[in-house]
Amino acid sequence: MCPRSVVVGACLLLSMQGLHATEWYVSPDGVATNVGTRQLPWDIASALDNRREVQPGDTIYLLEGTYRRRPNELFDVRLKGAADRPIHVRPAPGQRARIDGGLAVQSPSAHVWIRDLEIFVSEPLPDKPVSAGSSPADLKRPWGGLHMHGGTNCKYINLIIHNCNQGVSCWMGEIDPEIYGCIIYDNGWLGVDRGHGHCIYTQNDEGVKTISNCIMTCPFDGSYTMHAYGSERAYVNNYVVTDNICYGKGPFLIGGGRPSHGVRVFRNYLYGVDMRIGYDAPYNEDCEVRDNVIVSGRLEIANYRKATQEDNLVLAADASRPTGAKSILLPNKYDPNRLYLAVYNWDKADTVEVKTGGLLRDGDTVELLSPRNVFHDLQKVATATCRDGAMRIPAQGEFAVFVLRVSRR
């Protein structure tokens, strides 16, 4: 074999080795000095903080259990994948991984997909309102949640985030993220002035922040579902916010004190929640607000030089209603066996027929779960079967939202 062939063969071998994806394992009682196998797993802190040999294309599997650290309840993420070989962080197949605290995504994280985790804080809220303001000294519990400070092209998929002081914080240093399919509920706290803490609090300028297919609700007046907001010194630009379900409490806001541009808000489904695009900036540049459904709420688009507003259904609390029902079935592009369903039950009927629109096949069975009880099989709301392109589901009141877990025929 000629020397040139030897060199080419060696380079090809190195290239193939670089493309090889490795599966690593962590567990609640893992040890940093272990080798990262299922039998000898790492601890979560060293695995996520890039103190191990995790490479683009690798997967970090979290074994069953609850991951907790006090103090410093947030685990830093500093993993760096590649566009064609993202690093995946997810529970091991068939297992439930719970983070009692939260995650903080820091630079130089890039092309990391974090998915299917439950994030919460186990310490209870105070039994009475705490001091006013956003940082009360007498709120002693950990902050918790998912906080994005410095990732690039990262994805946060199908996370369940609840009972934290704030669900998601997505700041300027996080470039081109996708927040998708997350269920965010019961975050925040009650002060003597009002509720504080939001489902998603975000600011942006560079790149585009995409927030899609999430279910969001708040427990307190004063908290927001979508809170893309800042003072005249902050930026609230370049958002794509689509196919989200927001209900109960928590206004939906994109706007602040500095003029905004590049705001696109499509096909969001709100009940009891106001949508406000623009806040108190003297002017804003451009926005598109299309195909949203807002019931028992208002739509306000403030101070935009160019605002495209089309095909939005807005019904105030005292407005007359259509007849029958309107159902919205949202597929999940990362999990074909998971769907979200929102039902506007105009007649307040006991059951509603939902057209499946080809998302289910005849004979497919779905379990209907409350967004607050996705993991609790014994608390499922009902089971339904697709027949002739439709299924009948139980309904109470004018609005309902479900997580559907599908068993394919």
Give me the CATH number covering residue 100.
2.160.20.10
How is residue 327 written in tokens?
């159902």
Q: Which residue has the tokens 């939005």?
A: 312
Q: Which residues contact 362 (CB under 8 A, 6 or more apart)?
A: 386, 387, 388, 389, 409
What's residue 377's pLDDT?
Answer: 58
| Residue 275 resides in a domain | yes
Distance CA 127, CA 308 (A): 45
What's residue 374's pLDDT?
Answer: 85
β-pairing, 365-369 with 382-385?
Answer: antiparallel
Cβ pair 115, 99 in contact under 8 A: no
What's residue 20's pLDDT?
Answer: 80
Question: CATH number for the domain including 340?
Answer: 2.60.40
| Residue 320 resides in a domain | no
Cβ pair 398, 344 in contact under 8 A: yes
Main-chain phi, psi angles of 116, to 5 degrees: 65, 20
Do 275 and 384 fall into the same domain? Answer: no
What's residue 1's pLDDT?
Answer: 46
How is residue 344 written in tokens?
């506007």
DSSP-based three-state secondary structure for 33 = coil
Using the 8-state DSSP alphabet, how is residue 378 labeled? G
Do 221 and 362 fall into the same domain? Answer: no
The sign of the torsion formed by the CA atoms of 69, 96, 21, 86 equals: negative
Do 349 and 308 fall into the same domain? Answer: no
Do 333 and 268 fall into the same domain? Answer: no
How is residue 249 written in tokens?
């409490």
| Residue 9 resides in a domain | no
Do 256 and 394 fall into the same domain? Answer: no
| Residue 269 resides in a domain | yes
Cβ pair 94, 166 in contact under 8 A: no
Do 259 and 163 fall into the same domain? Answer: yes
What's residue 298's pLDDT?
Answer: 98
Which uninterrupted H or E stretch holds 97? strand 97-100
Q: Which residues contact 96 (CB under 8 A, 6 or more apart)?
A: 64, 118, 375
Do 43 and 131 fall into the same domain? Answer: yes
How many CB atoms are located within 10 Å of the residue 339 CB?
Answer: 20
Q: What is the pTM of this model?
A: 0.94
Do 363 and 253 fall into the same domain? Answer: no
| Residue 5 resides in a domain | no
Cβ pair 226, 253 in contact under 8 A: yes
Distance CA 99, CA 119 (A): 5
The parent domain of residue 193 ranges over 22-315
Q: Which residues contact 312 (CB under 8 A, 6 or more apart)?
A: 289, 290, 291, 292, 293, 294, 299
Nearest Cα residue to 313 out of 298, 328, 325, 323? 298
| Residue 112 resides in a domain | yes
How many CB atoms are located within 10 Å of the residue 117 CB?
Answer: 22
Do 289 and 332 fall into the same domain? Answer: no
The partner residues of 406 in beta bridges, in order of sequence, read: 366
Do 211 and 121 fall into the same domain? Answer: yes
Distance CA 324, CA 353 (A): 10
β-pairing, 399-407 with 338-344?
Answer: antiparallel
Main-chain phi, psi angles of 282, to 5 degrees: -65, -25
Distance CA 296, CA 293 (A): 10
| Residue 245 resides in a domain | yes
Last residue of a domain, one of 266, 292, 315: 315
Question: Number of folded domains in the chain?
Answer: 2
Do 196 and 240 fall into the same domain? Answer: yes
Last residue of a domain, one of 315, 339, 370: 315
Do 351 and 309 fall into the same domain? Answer: no
Cα 191 versus chain centre, distance? 25
Last residue of a domain, one of 315, 335, 352: 315
DSSP code per residue over 309-354: EES-EEE-TTS---SS-EEEEEE-TT-TTEEEEEEE-TT--SEEEE
What's residue 198's pLDDT?
Answer: 98
| Residue 156 resides in a domain | yes
Q: Which residues contact 230 (CB under 8 A, 6 or more apart)?
A: 203, 236, 256, 257, 258
Query: Would you give per-residue pLDDT tens digits along the chain (409 residues)?
Result: 444 444 444 444 434 444 689 999 999 999 999 999 999 999 999 999 998 889 999 999 999 999 999 999 999 999 999 999 999 999 999 999 999 999 999 999 999 999 999 999 999 999 999 999 999 999 999 999 999 999 999 999 999 999 999 999 999 999 999 999 999 999 999 999 999 999 999 999 999 999 999 999 999 999 999 999 999 999 999 999 999 999 999 999 999 999 999 999 999 999 999 999 999 999 999 999 999 999 999 999 999 999 999 999 999 999 999 999 999 999 999 999 999 999 999 999 999 999 999 999 999 999 999 999 888 655 678 999 999 999 999 998 999 999 999 999 8
